[in-house]
């Protein structure tokens, strides 16, 4: 059955995110994606970076079904593992041992503003336990800088998120980076992306 979902934003941001990934990825090991959504990013990046193994995950069954359908549709069944059921708040994350041994980093695209602040905390906490010194955690999405929105459209977006759920909202980069440092990460790079988004690369600096 074809359960593929189509998230239009992924078509707009996949190329620019792929360019950032091409600078930080090593040609080996697993990348764990948290909150993969439809799975469109996963299959695009798996094809773009064939030496790595892209491990998608999402807590929503409909999303995991979509990811599986995308994997099948793209003929990646032998290369790409089936999505994991990871809710960042349900810890410890259930991680296959093989991935635990050869993970090189974690990425989460457009997730932390569409979930509670506790999810952000948990993302850093669990990533800090899973990753070793030198490995990365990359976030992509809108951020406030110095607690201010960087554009009117981000401010409106933030309001619309809070109308859907009062615990959601565009996060402040400083507060996010504080969680990073509490869990052994340092902010390595902040990259301005199209449509008022950022890629943020955190690097684990302790063992
Ligand atoms: C806006 S979508 C982004 C999906 C995909 N990364 C993209 O860019 O198209 C947010 C995703 O975060 C997932 N999500 C929400 N709460 C989560 C949680 N507690 N743990 C992990 N993922 C979560 C949702 O199921 C959804 O797939």
Which token pair is 159?
Answer: 């309001």
- Tell me what pLDDT residue 88 has: 98
For 147, the domain range is 8-204
- 3-class secondary structure per residue, 132-170: CCCCEEEEEECEEECCECCCHHHHHHHHHHHHHCCCCCC
Of 184, 207, 25, nearest to 33 (Cα)? 25
- Tell me what pLDDT residue 190 has: 98
- Tell me what pLDDT residue 84 has: 98
Distance 58 CA to ligand 1 centre (A): 6
53 falls within a domain: yes
122 falls within a domain: yes
Q: Are 120 and 90 in contact (CB under 8 A)?
A: no
- Tell me what pLDDT residue 94 has: 96
Integer Cα distance of 126 and 23 in angstroms? 24
Integer Cα distance of 72 and 84 in angstroms? 16
Per-residue pLDDT of the chain in tens (207 residues, 90 and over written 9): 999 999 999 999 999 999 999 999 999 999 999 999 999 999 999 999 999 999 999 999 999 999 999 999 999 999 999 999 999 999 999 999 999 999 999 999 999 999 999 999 999 999 999 999 999 999 999 999 999 999 999 999 999 999 999 999 999 999 999 999 999 999 999 999 999 999 999 999 998
186 falls within a domain: yes
3 falls within a domain: no
142 falls within a domain: yes
Q: Closest residue (by CA) to atom 23 of ligand 1? A: 35
- Tell me what pLDDT residue 187 has: 98
Integer Cα distance of 113 and 117 in angstroms? 8
* Residue from 107, 114, 170 whose mutation best tests the ligand 1 pocket (most atoms within 8 A of CB): 114
- Tell me what pLDDT residue 89 has: 98
- Tell me what pLDDT residue 112 has: 98
Q: Are 142 and 161 in contact (CB under 8 A)?
A: no
87 falls within a domain: yes
What atom in ligand 1 is closest to the CA of residue 109? Answer: 6
- Tell me what pLDDT residue 2 has: 98
Ligand 1 shell residues, CB under 6 Å: 7, 9-10, 34-38, 41, 58-60, 63, 86-89, 109-111, 114-115, 119
Integer Cα distance of 189 and 181 in angstroms? 14
Q: Which residues pair with 185 in a beta bridge?
A: 204
Q: Are 100 and 29 in contact (CB under 8 A)?
A: no
Domain CATH for 66: 3.40.50.150
Into how many domains does the chain fold?
1
Rg of the chain (C-alpha set): 16
What atom in ligand 1 is closest to the CA of residue 89? Answer: 19
What atom in ligand 1 is closest to the CA of residue 9? Answer: 9
Q: Closest residue (by CA) to atom 14 of ligand 1? A: 35
2 falls within a domain: no
Integer Cα distance of 124 and 112 in angstroms? 11
Of 151, 106, 164, 113, nearest to 131 (Cα)? 106
12 falls within a domain: yes
Which token pair is 72?
Answer: 């099948």
């Amino acid at each position: 059955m074809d359960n593929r979902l189509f998230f239009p934003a992924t078509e707009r941001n996949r190329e620019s995110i792929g360019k950032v990934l091409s600078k930080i990825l090593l040609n080996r090991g697993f990348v764990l994606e948290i909150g993969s959504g439809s799975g469109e990013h996963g299959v695009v990046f798996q094809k773009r970076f064939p030496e790595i193994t892209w491990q998608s995950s999402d807590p929503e069954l409909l999303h995991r079904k979509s990811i599986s359908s995308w994997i099948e549709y793209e003929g990646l069944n032998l290369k790409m593992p089936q999505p994991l059921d990871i809710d960042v708040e349900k810890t410890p994350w259930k991680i296959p041992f093989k991935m635990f041994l050869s993970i090189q980093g974690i990425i989460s695209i457009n997730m932390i503003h569409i979930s509670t602040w506790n999810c952000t905390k948990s993302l850093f906490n669990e990533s800090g336990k899973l990753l070793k010194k030198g490995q990365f955690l990359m976030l992509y999405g809108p951020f406030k800088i110095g607690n201010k929105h960087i554009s009117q459209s981000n401010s409106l977006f933030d309001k619309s998120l809070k109308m859907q759920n009062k615990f959601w909202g565009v996060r402040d980069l400083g507060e996010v980076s504080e969680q990073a440092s509490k869990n052994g990460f340092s902010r390595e790079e902040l990259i301005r992306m199209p449509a008022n988004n950022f890629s943020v690369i955190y690097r684990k600096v302790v063992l």
